[in-house]
Amino acid sequence: MKSKFFTTTLLVMLISCLSFPNLVFAQENNASPGSTNFFEKYYGKIIESSIRGPLDALVYIDYEIADGKVLDALAALGYTVTVATDWVDFSNKLGANNYGLAVAFNQNFPWSVKPTVLSALTTYITNGGSVVFGDWKTDNDFAALFEAQFTGVNNQTQMALHPSIATGLPNPISLVNTGWSIFSTGLTATGGGQVLGTFPNLDASIIRGNGGKTIILGYLSDTPPEAYRQQLFMNLFEGVAPPPSSVPLSNGALYLGIFLIAIFIVFRYTRRLA
């Protein structure tokens, strides 16, 4: 009797799994059922720019419900952007190329290739690479790379910004849930981590670490107000990978240059007269 009951129960469970797969697996995903991945259309593309030269960016975002303006921000800063097709492709490219900036957001799915991504990011950061990163699954193995730790407090809706990343933005700035189960995740700084954004409960929302080369976000890319997403990302990217700046010409060097030009003109003029 027990064997028959067990067999019947197992059969019912199997039929349920086959008939309603979304009920079984959707709970592991962060996006609301029926949403569309806005970022998927960019997978595998290279968006070229000639402004920054070798300082190119590698990007992978597994899911966006709305446009987070990440690519717009990078384009405005002059990056040539390579968009990976998945986490394995991101990890392979990160290890094989000399990218000046890596942008990686895990926003919807559980980690399926965690060791691969963790190893690639560890090597890249150890070698001095600049990274902006986010993880809705709040995996502290990843957070530790960024001198941070997740607090377990989720879905706060406002953050105060450090002045260094507040240019052109309202401060504090709101966060809006565009259709996620978890859209913000509290952080605390560890080691040399510097808090650049703070939620109302005083959890960190943005932490810069590794001597200023990395940032971990406590919110998803498309949750700041649409009008300010691009500017916020521009501020963040410049915070870890500032653009090359020209060396200002001193007054002494300017005067010397004028003097040498004047001597050259006089020399040419006197030779003609001779």
What domain range is 198 assigned to? 38-240
184 and 79 co-located in one domain: yes
Which pLDDT band holds residue 54 (cuts at 50, 70, 90)?
A: low
Residues 4 and 109 both lie in one domain: no
In tens, the pLDDT along 205-258 reads: 999 999 999 999 999 999 999 999 999 999 999 999 886 543 343 444 444 545
Residue 170 lies in a domain: yes
Q: Verify that 76 and 114 share a domain, yes or no.
A: yes
pLDDT of res. 2: 45
19 and 153 part of one domain: no
Instruction: Note whether residue 253 is domain-resident.
Output: no
**Per the domain annotation, does 17 fall within a domain?**
yes
pLDDT tens track for 93-108: 999 988 999 999 999 9
For residue 245, is it within any domain? no
Q: What is the tens place of the pLDDT at every residue in 156-186?
A: 999 999 999 999 999 999 999 999 999 999 9
Euclidean distance between CA atoms 95 and 99, whole angstroms:
9
pLDDT-derived band of residue 50, with 50, 70 and 90 as boundaries? Answer: low
Q: In terms of domains, do 26 and 161 share one?
A: no
